[in-house]
Amino acid sequence: MGGVERLLIAGVVIAVAVVIAILIDRRSPDAPTAPRWAVPTQLDRADFAGPAQPWLVAVFTSETCDACAGTAAKAAVLASEDVAVDEVAVGVRPEVHRRYAIDAVPTVVVADADGVVRASFVGPPTATDLWAAVAELRDAGPGPRAPA
């Protein structure tokens, strides 16, 4: 066998290998992606407890969610003169869940006096993360107020 024949055979083998690799790659499913849940960016403070307080921590929950009770308990500790904490259970207040398109629980939103959501968590946050987020926002002060 001559050198040209060997190069031709090697070229054919490489071309077949490339075609097979392309076919196998096309048959492989895409890697699963994590769902992204929508979080409201604005709340009507009248829909929640403590509309006159500077800060609101709204905890959207469900009675069938195991992590929701723990999340609500972590948030309850934040209640103070400046921070209203409102647990919004879907079984009790389904209209609020629908209005804000909450499709995953627990969802926690931290809103300022104007209802602007300044922090949020989808899924159970750690107590440290939740408390730190609220403390950081309170220390930074309220955002710009809407004109009266």
CATH number at residue 119: 3.40.30.10
Structural domain includes residue 23: no
Model confidence pLDDT, tens digit, residues 99-109: 999 999 999 99
Judge contact between 116 and 144, C-beta under 8 A: no
- What's the domain count of the chain? 1
- Cα angle value 84/90/93 (rounded, 5°): 65
- The pTM (predicted TM-score) of the whole model is 0.73
How many of the other CB atoms lie within 10 Å of CB of 135? 11
Judge contact between 120 and 109, C-beta under 8 A: yes
Both tokens of 59, joined, read 């905890």
Structural domain includes residue 6: no
What average pLDDT does the segment 30-46 reach? Answer: 84
Query: What residue type is 128 in one-letter code?
Result: T
Structural domain includes residue 33: no
User: Does pLDDT of 144 surpass 70?
Assistant: no
What average pLDDT does the segment 16-36 reach? Answer: 74
Q: Give the mean pLDDT of the chain.
A: 89
User: Does pLDDT of 50 surpass 90?
Assistant: yes
The whole-angstrom separation of Cα 49 and Cα 38 is 22
Structural domain includes residue 59: yes
pLDDT band at 134, cuts 50/70/90?
very high
Model confidence pLDDT, tens digit, residues 52-94: 999 999 999 999 999 999 999 999 999 999 999 999 999 999 9
Structural domain includes residue 17: no
Both tokens of 12, joined, read 């054919």
Structural domain includes residue 114: yes
Place of tokens 């307080």: 53
Structural domain includes residue 26: no
Q: Which domain holds residue 49?
A: 45-140
- In this predicted structure, what is the pLDDT of residue 110? 97
pLDDT band at 28, cuts 50/70/90?
low
Structural domain includes residue 110: yes
